[in-house]
Amino acid sequence: ETGVTQSPTHLIKTRGQQVTLRCSSQSGHNTVSWYQQALGQGPQFIFQYYREEENGRGNFPPRFSGLQFPNYSSELNVNALELDDSALYLCASSFGGPNTEAFFGQGTRLTVV
Amino acid sequence: SQQGEEDPQALSIQEGENATMNCSYKTSINNLQWYRQNSGRGLVHLILIRSNEREKHSGRLRVTLDTSKKSSSLLITASRAADTASYFCATDEGSNYKLTFGKGTLLTVNP
């Protein structure tokens, strides 16, 4: 158990819809990162939040957006869902800074039909 | 883009044998981390090795890092059926400390 919890665990959405995924970070961690993992691939970095500010973004379009709250929990929002958005979405929390471990939640499996 | 490349892509061994997985990367790094993933669920952190370290141990795990060759290896000794999983290396290379993952090695340990 890492102390990082994600909800929901599974979700089915229709193309064009919007989705919000949630993550509660491990106690004391001020940095949350989101990753997308397609089937058979390694996770791909979406973005990172540090103390409620976006602190880096991967190669994902603007319809992927996020928030971090004062308690360091976070949301990932995806608008105008596409079939290729079907993936496992992983949240990781850490203290931030170099040489700190990132601890992952169990992920949300999103299926877009 | 994926920086780390694990080798082999798949590995099948018998219980009790050792398993070695390799990872290569392309740019300079702050550290390299190894993760395990069971059945497409969450990633479990195994070990972090810093760029100024050459070897690290944790239980049955041994990780080496060669920054001159931009490569790392993960050795699991005396493997068990419960070690069956996908193993990923991830490099921390930038100022926002994002992790860049490879595609992973699927390890199957047969009882």
pLDDT of residue A74: 96
Name the amino acid, one letter, at B78. Answer: A
Question: Does the beta-carbon distance from A102 to B41 stay under 8 Å?
Answer: no
d(CA A54, CA A6): 19
Region of B95 (left: φ > 0; alpha: ψ -120 to 50; beta: rest) is alpha
Among chain A residues, the shortest Cα distance to B43 is held by: A104
- Determine how many CB atoms are found less than 10 A away from the CB of residue A111: 12
Question: Does the beta-carbon distance from B45 to A99 stay under 8 Å?
Answer: no
Question: Does the beta-carbon distance from B42 to A106 stay under 8 Å?
Answer: yes
Residue B96 banded pLDDT, cuts 50, 70, 90: low
Chain A residues in contact with B30 (beta carbon < 8 A): 98-99
pLDDT of residue B6: 83
CA distance A76 to chain B (A): 16
Chain A residues in contact with B95 (beta carbon < 8 A): 56
pLDDT of residue B5: 80
Mean pLDDT in runs of 10 for chain A (113 residues)? 88 98 91 94 93 91 96 95 98 82 94 98
- Number of C-alpha atoms within 13 angstroms, CB side, residue B57? 3
Task: Find, among A104, A23, A5, the residue nearest to B45 by Cα.
Answer: A104
pLDDT in tens, B46-74: 999 999 999 999 999 999 999 999 999 99
Residue B81: strand, helix, or coil: helix
Question: Does the beta-carbon distance from A97 to B97 stay under 8 Å?
Answer: yes
Question: Does the beta-carbon distance from A104 to B101 stay under 8 Å?
Answer: no
pLDDT of residue B17: 97
Higher pLDDT, B81 or A71: B81
Task: Find, among A63, A79, A77, A81, the residue nearest to A15 by Cα.
Answer: A81
